[in-house]
Amino acid sequence: MGSDPQFAKYPNLALAQDIFTLANPSSPPISRQASLKKLQDAISEHKMAPLYRHLAHPTEGLVNGSGEGSASRPTTSSRRMNGASQVLSGSREAASIDFPWNEQLYEKLKMENDIELETYAKEEADAAETAGDTEVQAAKGKRAEFWARVGDKEKALSSYEAVFEKTGVLGTKIDIVLAIVRIGLFFNDKMLVKKQVDRAKALVESGGDWDRRNRLKAYQGLHLLTTRSYNLAAPLLLDSLSTFTSYELCSYSSLVVYSVLAGSVSLKRVDFKSKVVDTPEVKAILGDGEDKLAALTGAISAGPGAGDEEMKDASSSTPTPAPTAVNLTTLGVSSDNVAEVETHVDFTPLAGLVRSLYVGNYQAFFLALAAVEESFLSQDRYLYEHRVWFVREMRLRGYQQLLQSYRIVSLKSMATDFGVSVDFLDRDLAKFIAADRIPCTIDRVNGIIETNRPDDKNKQYTDVVKQGDALITKLQKYGQAVRLRGSERG
């Protein structure tokens, strides 16, 4: 069936973000209003009766702004929000926007769903009588896409599995599994996503084409991001930047955000510079002035051969570039979907985070980190759950980066560098020191921090002693077992 991806239109993961925004207490009211309208319009346009019931039913729905029927379900703690469903059930009191239940609308949508299903059933029956297996599979595929479109998780999964079992084309099989992955992402079923990502990986390794290999890389990276495996997600997401085509998964600007955040918290400084700070794809989004223009014109993406002369020519041709000269969020998006392109995203906090971390401007780094938490971590359904962990790890990274340069540093001067109080820095560092995350000690009496730089030779000696002790213990147990068996034979 060619290399073009199939079953890539549904489910629409942008709606899952709207559901999250609708109930997220950190979302501005104007964003919740916009998400509510988009969700209601999508339900009416795509006849999403199952999803409408799943969200708005007075006794069974996740969104129940009026409070009807909410007493029948226990209140879920809002401390952890693993996805849309938990955010909705955990923050109902914070959500001030109703998602009203309209029984007549639901019955109308359900009736239209039944009529559409009858059409697919008739098409499948006619194909079975007068056509071949290809046409039958096409009809079954339409039914599976229908269930994915209207938001019925269980029926969509069973329909896709039925199509998968009868499909012999490897590319189509991979597309089906990736569609199942998106269903898992939509309903925040991490176990399903993990299982299906591994399944898709096995299929791709058995002979998948180049495009599907690249698409799977983005799927894997996003899944690892949701499970807090940022160190594993970073290389996959960063590699996807230059070959990204999975617009059914997320927008390109969202991919840049995920890549930069994952790389910032997990990569070593050398890799951070080469794969995040100096990456043309990242500069095209986060850069400013000449760096951004050079990235957009390709002057810095040609490797070492891209000389200063080429950069000067590019800048001279457009001396005052407009910040919106190129909209990278529309790259790869067909003209039919231009209306669905995301609104403008302000990347200033993220750019400030990367720049200040690399140059060592720690006061600006802490301010940018707070802005990133407010603008990105608290507003994205994939980042929300681990936002506290991310902020903590980034603070640790800043501390480690500064302390690596000094043997002894004043507690007051370090607090001034980070723009915090001495008491806050003392308490924050103490947590990391107790967890063996920072090799240093705090002398509060003298007001200094003394780093204990690990000696590689001493560490190797300690490791050998520990491993030797473990080996001797095992040999002693083995010798006792042998002697016992010998005595039994005697």
Query: How far is the C-alpha of 212 from the C-alpha of 74, rounded, in Å?
Result: 43
The arithmetic mean of pLDDT across residues 180-192, rounded, is: 95
Q: Is 41 exposed, middle or buried (0-12, 13-18, 19+ CB in 10 A)?
A: exposed
pLDDT grade for 5, boundaries at 50, 70 and 90: confident
pLDDT grade for 457, boundaries at 50, 70 and 90: low
The partner residues of 410 in beta bridges, in order of sequence, read: 448
Query: How far is the C-alpha of 372 from the C-alpha of 369, rounded, in Å?
Result: 5
Q: Which long-range contacts (CB under 8 A, 24 or more apart) does 38-45 make?
A: 38/14, 39/15, 39/99, 40/99, 42/12, 42/15, 42/18, 43/109, 44/105, 44/109
The pLDDT assigned to 455 comes to 62
Model confidence pLDDT, tens digit, residues 31-48: 888 999 999 999 999 999
pLDDT grade for 322, boundaries at 50, 70 and 90: very low
The pLDDT assigned to 154 comes to 94
Note whether 260 and 282 are within 8 A (CB): yes
pLDDT at 138 over 60: yes
Give percent of the chain with pLDDT exceeding 70: 78
pLDDT at 471 over 90: no
Query: How far is the C-alpha of 176 from the C-alpha of 164, rounded, in Å?
Result: 7
The arithmetic mean of pLDDT across residues 241-253, rounded, is: 91
The tokens for 279 are: 């990456």
**Burial code of 47-82, b = ≥16 C-beta within 10 A, e = fewer?**
bbbbbbbbbbbeeebbbbbeeeebeeeeebebeebe
Query: How far is the C-alpha of 459 from the C-alpha of 470, rounded, in Å?
Result: 17
pLDDT at 68 over 50: no
Model confidence pLDDT, tens digit, residues 284-309: 888 775 555 555 455 554 343 344 43
Mean pLDDT of all residues belonging to the chain: 81
Q: Nearest CA to 356 among 347, 365, 343, 368?
A: 365
The pLDDT assigned to 286 comes to 86
pLDDT grade for 463, boundaries at 50, 70 and 90: confident
Omega within 30 of 0 (cis) for the link into 29: no
Between CA 159 and CA 24, with CA 227 as vertex, the angle to 5 degrees is 85
pLDDT at 346 over 90: no
The tokens for 73 are: 């379900």
The pLDDT assigned to 86 comes to 44
N residues, the chain: 490
The pLDDT assigned to 469 comes to 84
pLDDT grade for 270, boundaries at 50, 70 and 90: very high
pLDDT at 76 over 90: no
Q: How far is CA 147 from the centre of its chain?
A: 25
Model confidence pLDDT, tens digit, residues 368-388: 999 999 999 999 999 999 999
Phi, psi of 408 (to 5 degrees): -135, 135
Model confidence pLDDT, tens digit, residues 401-439: 999 888 899 999 999 999 999 999 999 999 999 998 999
pTM for the whole thing? 0.80
Query: How far is the C-alpha of 180 from the C-alpha of 160, rounded, in Å?
Result: 7
